[in-house]
Structures are given as structure tokens and as C-alpha cells.
A and B are shown apart, each in its own frame.
Chain A
Amino acid sequence: MTRDPLLKVRGLEVAFPGQDGPVTVVRGLDLDIEPGERVGLVGESGSGKSVSMHAILGLAAGARVSGSVRFDGQELVGAPSSTLRAVRGRRAGLIFQDSLSALNPVLRVGAQITEPLRLSGTGKREARDRALELLERVGIRDATRRVDDYPHQFSGGMRQRVMIAIALAQSPELLIADEPTTALDVRVQRQVLDLLLELSEERGMSLLLISHDLGVVAGGTERVVVMYAGQAVESATAEPLFQRPLHPYTWGLLGAVPQLTGSRPERLPAIAGRPPDPAVPPSGCPFHPRCPHAQDRCATEVPMLLEHEPDHRAACLRVGEISPPALIAEERVDA
């Protein structure tokens, strides 16, 4: 018997009330995260990547959520708030892009780390020792002095580290990092990403790294899921996903990223048009209006996320009939 994944999402649907009835922004998402696994979730704005993660933790206020989300076997969709509270923060931590608004501005950072520990019965001195240890671990120098500083006294990168320390305080089994480095400068971004990967490795903590940037999830994640218009359109271990992607949207995304090395193209192979409005989703395959490979049936048949190669799934009717443009196949040389 195989062990169940730590997080098992099946057919997740998230809808928000709209002017002309509910607008579905996540439509039938399936996602597994194994214990200790690092997964990248990639999608452009409006793809539903953040909303789905908030819905998983019961944080999508005002949304109608259906489907199944099992955390360590326990169903979270429709669960009482006591169940959600027992998972959220304790067993599954979440860090956001905007550390300034996620942290309490009038509470010293040390207190923000120790608060949940104190609530779960840890002694005062022990909680403070733990806060110091965590601040040091996430790379805050001079932690004994800085533990009593306020969030605004930290730079953006340092605040992000503080937020990671808060998330780690309860030793979660899963850390969901929602665009954790998007607002940061490139070198700081890199340091924070390295830190997250390191912490995941040393603690055996699962990591779900959400980003719009394929480059951000390319290093260190074992599996990558690409979302488009509220659905997972491709899912594979990292290497095949980047080297031999199956879905035309993934081809388009990879092609649209300017390269640091190799030949410099006259034009970037941009994806035509823009993502669909969730209020008026296209029929059939959600990508068909922008897909250069679309046929008539793509406008009527909805593709399922099927396993086409071992551990490599794609939701495209034409897998096997079409091949990626040469640009992606081209060997890249390191910078």
C-alpha cells in the first residue's frame, strides 16, 4: 500500500460572487504534495494559483469552495473552523509576497514569533529562546538585539526572513510560499529562495513555491505544476517539464522568457492575446483561443490532465501530434 500524500487536492473549485452570477476562478484543480517534497506552482496573474492555495487553507473569504482537500488524510473543505485552525499555521504555514502588510506593525517581531508558541503552552523563556534561534536560523544577524525591533525597522528581504521565522515556529510539515520574493531585488530574492530550499531540506518540510516566474521555481523544486485559467495544464518532475514540456502553453511561457545566453532572437515568441476573463471562460480547452496548434475539437472538447509519460501529465488533446517550437529544444549554455 502506498502512503497517501501529505496534501491531496482533488477537483478543487473556487467561485466568487459576480455581477452576473458566480465567477469560477479555480476549476477542478488536482494537486499532490508528498512529505518533504518541493513543488513549484507556476502561472500568470489570474491563473488562480494564489486563490487556490488560500482556498486550501480556508482563507478564501467570500468564496464558494468545493472539491476535496485532504491534509494528512483529513478533509478540509467544509471542515469546522476548529479543524482548519489546527492545520493552518501549525501544520501548514503560509508566507506572502507582501511582508509589510502580513506582519503586525505595532508588535515587536519577537512577540510575533512567540505568540503562537505561548498560546500552545510553551513557557515564556523557552518561547523567547526559540524566537532567537529561529531568527538566527533565517539569517538575521545580531538576533538578540533585533528580536525587539518592529517590522518597519527591517528591509524587505529581512522582513521576508522574519515571516519565514514566524511560519517555522510551529514546525509545520508544509510551507506554502506565495510569491515570496517577487517584490525583492534579484540578489536578495536569490538568498531568500536558497533559504527556503535549505530549510525544506534540513527539516524534511514540504514546500509549495508559488510564482509567476519559471526561473524562480526551476532550481530546487522536484516537481512543477503549470496553471492556466484556473486549471493545472501540465505537471511533471522539474527536469522533463523544462526540457521536454508537453503543453503548448508551457512552450509559450518558456519561449516568452528572454534568455541570458545563446542566440539573441529578433523577436520573442510571445503568446498572442491574453488570458481569458474568468467570467466568460472559453469553451473546450481554456487555452485554445491563444493556441497556435488549436483545431476545431479544441473548442468543444475539454482536455483532462492525463499522464502521457511516467509522472508527466498534461491537459491537451493534441499531445503526441504536435511538437514544441525549436526555440525551447535548443540547448542552453550556462551564463
Chain B
Amino acid sequence: MPEPLLQVKGLTHHFASRGGPTVAVEDVAFEVRAGEAVGLVGESGSGKSTTARCVLRLIEPTAGSVVFDETDVLAASPRRLRELRREMQIVFQDPYASLNPRMTVEALVGEGLVVHGLAGGRGARRRRVLELLELVGLDAGHLERHPRDFSGGQRQRIAIARALAVEPRLLICDEPVSALDVSVQAQVLNLLRGLQEQLGLSILFIAHDLAVVRFLCDEIVVMRDGRVVEAGPAHRVLREPHDPYSRALLLATPVPDPAIETRRRAERRSSSPAGGRSPSSTATT
């Protein structure tokens, strides 16, 4: 089994707030091996995005350790941290907010090359940007355009090309497809799967949709209220979830099949304590 590329242990982050510190992430541990895709799953407030930001030190964790390729990320000097951030890139959920509207596609995708002093001259840079655009299914005709000229799915492709420009080994994707329509979502998921195979990329994929995670990920880590409640191979977690919360998530995930949905609905009704009425009658969320 390959050595873990990313190893997270005891990761903890407390927010200062009125009435004492609020726990955002508590004692989170997981690994991402080279070339592997790991899904970090949970609902809003579960701490999954905070975990990703702690890994990149976009937020400083309160405690724990993050080791990337044998380097202690949390102890890294500013200079070393810059190098590490080249190797760990992140793609955000909202491609409307994450791309500077005044920059052209060429500038957006090439920015990392400039920042990290890669691909020297203008000509070399343009060639590299073109390569990247082709990799994500765009072309030279898009170089001079601005984000506003693109649909959500295309913007997400631009964001992915931008992240890949600096040849990261780990791509962290924070809900990259949840704002997209089903047909476009499938295109972006296929792109990520292809990149993983083609470039041997490792992916930390943050999502709430278990079916999406199943398509892309080998391992699943389920988080709730800042803690990991279950982790394991995707096929095992989805077939026989050990934790009641994982099971509840799985049963609530919509399935486009009326027979399955009707049966599940009957199950939810009969298992409800109100006897007949679904849990919706007594829910507190």
C-alpha cells in the first residue's frame, strides 16, 4: 500500500465566541494516499470545509498535525508553506465568486505560474495555459474572455485549470459540483475522474451528496458536528454503514427511482415514533 501523501491527525479547531470557545473541528484524522480520491462528507456545520482550510492553513488549527509528503505543514516556515500550497491546490464551490471578474482566462489560469515563478516568458506561459485549457475541455478561443462570458460549468473548468497550472499533487475540491445542473455536473465529475487517472492526481473531495462521492472516491470520511463518525472504503460505507448518522444520510439521499423512494418513504413512516406520521412531524432541525 502506498505511503499517505496527506496525513491528518488529531486536527482540532476552536472558534472564540461569546460563552467560551466553540468547537468547529475536533480530533479529526484521515489520510489521502497518492493517486487516491477521498470523500469528506457531511451536512452544513459538520466541519468538512473548516477541515480542508486547516489542511491548507487558510485557517490555523488549534491543535493536531497535518503532514504532507513527510513535511509538517503546521510547522512549515512561510517560505516552505508557499511551496506546499503549490502542491496542494483548492477549487471552491462557487465559480462565480472565486474567479476575479476583471481578469481574462489567460491571466486567471496563468496567475499561479507567475506567482510561483514557473514557465518563464510570455510565450512559454501562453503555451502552458493553452495546454491546461485543452486538458479541461476549453480552447484557444477562450483565452481573451472574462468569467462573465462563461456558464457555471465552464467557470468550474477554468477554476480547475487554474488550480492545475502549478502541477499540484493534491487537489482539494470543496463542493465543486453542488451548484451545477445535473448534466453539467456529470461533465465536471468526468473531467475530475479523467484528471485523476491521467495525472495521478490525489483528490480530497468535499461534498454532501453521497452518490457524487461514490462516483469519484475510493474512501469516504463522514463528519458530523466537527467529528469523524465513520471512515472506510466507499463501497463498504455505502453498503453497510456502521454509524446511525451515515445510515440516515444514505437513506435521505434522493434516488431517481419511484419504487425505491416509495418503499423508503413507507419505512420512514413506520419507523416514526409518532406512529403513522413521518419524522417530519416532530423534527427539530
Residues of A within 8 A of B (CB): 44-45, 137, 139, 141, 155, 157-158, 185-192, 194-195, 197-198, 212-216, 218-220, 238-239, 242-243, 252-261, 264-271, 274, 332, 334-335
Contacts and interface: CB of A to CB of B under 8 A. Distances in A.
B256 A214 contact: yes
Contacts of A220: 261-262, 265
Interface residues of B, number: 51
A198 B252 contact: no
Q: Which of B182, B212, B285 has the most CB of A within 10 A?
A: B182
Given A212-B182, A215-B261, 15 more contacts: A44-B182, A45-B181, A139-B280, A157-B283, A186-B43, A186-B209, A187-B285, A194-B268, A219-B254, A219-B260, A258-B212, A260-B238, A267-B193, A332-B260, A335-B255
Given A139-B283, A264-B215, A267-B190, A212 B181 contact: yes
A187 B249 contact: yes
Given A198-B277, A259-B211, A335-B238, A239 B259 contact: yes
A258 B189 contact: yes
Given A270-B187, A271-B183, A198 B278 contact: yes
Given A191-B278, A194-B279, A252-B183, A334 B252 contact: no
19 contacts: A139-B282, A190-B254, A190-B268, A194-B279, A198-B277, A198-B280, A218-B260, A218-B261, A219-B254, A219-B261, A219-B264, A238-B258, A257-B211, A258-B215, A260-B214, A271-B186, A274-B183, A332-B257, A335-B253
Given A44-B182, A212-B182, A219 B151 contact: no
A194 B208 CA distance: 20
A212 to B, nearest CB: 6
Shortest 3 CB-CB distances between A and B: which pairs? A219-B261, A215-B254, A270-B186
Nearest to B272: A194
Contacts of A44: 181-184
Nearest to B249: A186
A139 B182 contact: no
A274 B137 CA distance: 13
Nearest to B235: A264
Contacts of A158: 285
A159 B255 CA distance: 25
Contacts of B43: 185-187
B260 A256 contact: no
Contacts of B268: 190, 194
A271 B153 CA distance: 13
Contact of B182 (A238, A256, A265): A256
B17 to A, nearest CB: 18
Nearest to B190: A267
Contacts of A218: 254-258, 260-261
B77 interface: no
A145 to B, nearest CB: 14
Nearest to B154: A274
Contacts of B184: 44, 274
B151 A256 contact: no
A187 B215 contact: no
B248 interface: yes
A191 B182 contact: no
B22 interface: no
Contact of B285 (A191, A219, A270): A191
Contact of A186 (B153, B214, B253, B261): B253
B127 to A, nearest CB: 28
Contact of B262 (A45, A198, A219, A261): A219
A186 B257 contact: no
B211 A141 contact: no
B250 interface: yes
Q: Which of A242, A266, A270, A334 has the most CB of B within 10 A?
A: A270
B255 A258 contact: no
Nearest to B153: A274
Interface in B187-212: 187, 189-190, 193-194, 208-212
Given A195-B280, A197-B265, A213-B254, A256 B186 contact: yes
B258 A219 contact: yes
Contacts of A271: 183, 186
B271 interface: no
B62 interface: no
A137 B280 CA distance: 10
